[in-house]
Amino acid sequence: MRRLTPTDASLTADQASGLRTIRRVAPYLWPDDQPWVKRRVVLALLALLASKVVAVTTPVIYKHAVDALSGEGVPMLALGAVGLTVAYGMARMMTNGFQQLRDALFAAVGQRALRALALETFTHIHRLSLRYHLTRRTGGLSRVIERGVKGVEFLLRFLLLSIGPLVLELLMVAGMLFFLFDFSYLAVVAVTIAIYVAFTFKVTEWRVKLRREMNTQDTEANQKAIDSLLNFETVKYFGAEAREAARYDASMGRYQDAALKTAYSLSMLNFGQSFLITAGLIVVMVMAATGVQAGTLTVGDFVMVNAYMIQITMPLNFLGSVYREIRQALVDMGEMFDLLEQPVEISDKPRARPLQVRGGTVEFDDVAFGYEAERPILRGLNLTVPAGRSVAIVGPSGSGKSTIGRLLFRFYDVASGAIRIDGQDLRDVTQDSLHDAIGVVPQDTVLFNDTIRYNIAYGRDGATDAQVHQAARAAQIHEFITSLPQGYDTQVGERGLKLSGGEKQRVGIARALLKNPPILLLDEATSALDTETEREIQDALDRAAEGRTVLMIAHRLSTVAGADHVIVLEEGRIVEEGTHSDLLARGGRYRTLWQRQQAQQGAA
């Protein structure tokens, strides 16, 4: 038994991936719950069949018209030369008409499938875990989706409306040649097509590998460009414009090399195809010319043979590019379906119930967790935040403070132990209800590239302007917004870069207040701000915390002095806890951290 080479194995894997992709797309063309789609597919196929039947009979009409003009043969259906010419023109018009009808009928089917797949992919990406998104580059991810969706459109359009019709037309033309002439004509055409198809597929398989490399380099260059632009300020700080340009140019250079190989191979493919099809055409035409000279064929037969050869030559010329694009579409769609098959790490249990918040007591019961099994972050954490009370979590970097917030929002599941809200394990409730119950003000509020109104209103779907203004007043940013020339319609720029840090944080607080959650998570909400701005923001945060259960993750200890309870976290364990004043009086780890920060502020 012959062993598979790496190339064979790769090809087999590609074929398996292609079949998987076609199986995934097929239900979108024949959905059980939408009969109108099935009707349109059937009607489109009937229009396709009609167009091919007319197209194959058109050269016969052409033959009889030529014979009538040259005085040979019997006029078809007793039509004269003029009548046959008109019939020929009508047949060509009908061929095009049926093709356009086919495209019009199928357009809604293709667009529906494209939209449904795009929505499924987009929805699935939002369901994937934070762990997945932290390990993927946004630029590369968007490129995969973009190419995949385009691949769906191309595959649906060409596989059903180009390759299928091409095969049907070739079979019909072969039948006409067999019945109207003799087997030798069919044999020459069949051999020509077989060699042509084999050559096209062989070269195209090679070109697909080149195209895949070109795609890889395209994605890499795109990632570098997006990464550089997102870090525009950092690039400026270090005067690295030339360095970034050189890095991008190097990526584009690799893309250029791959693109040139692809272009050169296309020229080779096109010439080879032209050579093979022209050779077959010459042989058939010589046979027909010999038959005319011998008196066994008419001039109309010669013209008809030529018409049939041209008829199959035109679609065959597109076979290489269509096959290549279909193969590439399958590759692109395969990447998108790989994305769709990424497992959802955090999902609702089959019978998960909505979270019922009665007071908002949060409990961490012997919680252990690590982003990697060999590197634990939290080690047996026990913490209770009573309803309507505030608990601050402080400690050095890497102690696990932010991890607690991510676990509470259920971005990850605990390795052992449990987190409960009013006695309900987070793993037993729906994620939507859990997320509705928790408002988050992060360290760096990221805003959508839209208006201030839109960003605040994001906190509650369907919020009125009055509710948005009320939330802005509570966050102490309403006066600032109204002082702007465009007020609440002011565009904030990408990621909110047109606003200062303090302004962005106030928008973030307003957004959380508009959500009106019973539980509030403040994840180092002021650590990136200057002292004066911090005091102003802290006032807004104190107002936001009124009547809510608050979990305050803080680096600056000055922000936690008013908390009902403070815990000190080190290496995933609570080493001290109590009120701010108690911990200072105790003279332990908290007091050391406090004194160190006070000294740093004094030195500043």
Q: In this predicted structure, what is the pLDDT of residue 554?
A: 83
Measuring CA to CA, which residue among 212, 192, 216, 215 is closest to residue 204?
Answer: 212
With 90 as the cut, is the pLDDT of residue 109 above it? no
pLDDT at 427: 92
Residue 326 burial by Cβ neighbours in a 10 Å radius (0-12, 13-18, 19+): buried
pLDDT tens readout for residues 485-503 = 899 998 887 656 678 877 8
Strand-pair category, 519-523 with 438-441: parallel
Q: Which of 143-147, 169-173, 211-215, 515-519 has the lowest mean pLDDT?
A: 143-147
The secondary element (H helix, E strand) that includes residue 269 is helix 241-294
Architecture per CATH, 25-340: Up-down Bundle (1.20)
Who contacts 594 (Cβ-Cβ below 8 Å, separation ≥6)? 557, 584
State the pLDDT at residue 528: 55
Candidates 383, 398, 508; CA nearest to 443 is 508
Band of pLDDT at residue 419, cut at 50, 70 and 90: very high
Residue in the structure block whose two tokens are 């279909």: 326
Q: What is the pLDDT of residues 37-95, one digit of tens each?
A: 888 888 888 888 888 888 888 888 877 778 777 766 555 555 666 777 788 788 888 88
What separation in angstroms does the CA of 411 have from each of 127, 298, 404, 407, 564?
10, 79, 10, 6, 27
User: Measured between alpha carbons, how far is residue 340 from residues 116, 141, 145 in Å?
Assistant: 13, 12, 10
Average of per-residue pLDDT values in the chain: 80
Q: How many CA atoms lie within 13 A of 215 on its CB side?
A: 18
- Return d(Cα 433, Cα 258) in angstroms, integer: 49
pLDDT given for residue 467 in this prediction: 92
Averaged pLDDT for residues 238-257? 86
In words, the CATH class of domain 362-447+506-603 is alpha beta
- Cβ atoms of residues 360 and 549 within 8 Å: yes
pLDDT the model gives residue 112: 82
| Predicted confidence (pLDDT) per residue in 504-557, tens digit | 888 888 888 888 889 988 887 766 566 666 676 677 777 777 888 999 888 778
* End-to-end Cα, the chain, rounded Å: 78
Instruction: Please give the pLDDT value at position 512.
Output: 86
Domain range list for the chain: 25-340, 362-447+506-603
Tokens found for residue 78 = 């007793």
pLDDT at 160: 64
Q: Which long-range contacts (CB under 8 A, 24 or more apart) does 535-544 make?
A: 536/476, 536/502, 537/502, 537/505, 537/506, 537/509, 539/476, 540/474, 540/475, 540/476, 540/477, 540/506, 540/509, 541/441, 541/509, 543/474, 544/441, 544/474, 544/475, 544/509, 544/512, 544/513, 544/520
Query: What pLDDT digit, counting tens, does each position of 583-594 carry?
Result: 888 888 888 888
Calculate mean pLDDT across residues 266-287: 86
Residue 2 confidence (pLDDT): 41
Give residue 6's pLDDT. Answer: 44
Burial class of residue 443 in the structure, from the number of CB atoms within 10 Å of its CB (0-12 exposed, 13-18 middle, 19+ buried): middle
Determine contact, residues 512/544, Cβ cutoff 8 Å: yes
